[in-house]
Amino acid sequence: MMKIYTKKGDKGQTRIIGKKIVDKDDARVESYGTVDELNSWVGYTISVLTPETAVLKDELEGIQQLLFDAGTDLATLNDDPKRSFIFNVDSVKWLEGKIDTYTEAVPAVQKFILPGGNQPASALHVARTITRRAERHIVTLQGEDDINKDVLVFINRLSDYFFAVARYANMLGKNEDILYRNSKPVFR
């Protein structure tokens, strides 16, 4: 039987792709660790889809696949002599198309909305904020080492995608967004 516990990381260090050893609290490990947390949350979100929102399943699974690609690049050194980055701007374009579609389908808003609604929509708002947490860690990593910049663009766009699709999930479930009562007209 294969053992997944190799005990190698018991003292707080681990290997990235290419076998370099780093501390587990390295900005690089933080980055792909948070992408893994996001990926798991997307898996959880899929598991709470309702019949009305089930149409989103394949797309969210596609995002899980892309998050693994993003994680691979984050775990790879820019100057690794044997490997090059795999993530590219096509995934950004794909997301932008989805954002446009969903934004056109829902009623326009000028004010901030409360992140919530039905269960899938609320889970998608949580995904939005975990994506932004991952982005913050990737920005820290970028300050220390070279990264694949397309990954950062993708993650930035991904949080806007989750905003758009959360609103769409509420529309599918016939839930109306609630406005932040003290909001200025921020979306223009």
How far from 36 is each of 14, 71, 133, CA to CA, in Å?
16, 7, 12
137 binds ligand B12 (CB under 6 A): no
Nearer to a copy of itself, 11 or 19 (CB): 11
* Structural contact between residues 73 and 86, judged by C-beta atoms closer than 8 angstroms: yes
Is 129 a binder of Mg ion (CB under 5 A)? no
Q: Distance (Å, rounded) from C-alpha 114 to C-alpha 105? A: 19
What does the CA dihedral 54, 56, 57, 62 come to, rounded to 10 degrees?
Answer: 170
- Residue 163 binding ligand B12, by CB under 6 A: yes
Can you tell me which of 59, 100, 146, 176 binds a copy of itself, judged by CB under 8 A? 100
Residues in CB range of 113: below 8 A, 6 or more apart: 167, 177, 178, 179, 180
51 binds a copy of itself (CB under 8 A): no
**Distance (Å, whole) CA 72 – CA 92:** 17
* Between 55 and 180, CB nearer to a copy of itself: 180
103 counts as binding a copy of itself under rule CB under 8 A? yes
- Judged by beta carbon, residue 20 or residue 43, the one nearer a copy of itself is 43
Q: Which of residues 134-173 bind Mg ion (CB under 5 A)?
A: 156
Tell me which residue of 86, 48, 93, 47 sits closest to 67, measured CA to CA.
86
Smallest distance, Å, CB 171 to Mg ion?
Answer: 22
Q: Is 60 left (phi over 0), alpha (psi -120 to 50) or beta?
A: alpha
User: Which range touches ligand B12 (CB under 6 A), out of 28-36, 43-51, 58-66, 96-104?
Assistant: 28-36
Q: Kindly list the residues in this chain that would bind ligand B12 in the complex (CB under 6 A).
A: 2-4, 6, 8, 15-17, 19, 32, 35-36, 68, 71-72, 75, 83, 112-113, 115, 128, 159-160, 163, 184-188
| Residues near Mg ion, by CB under 5 A | 9, 156
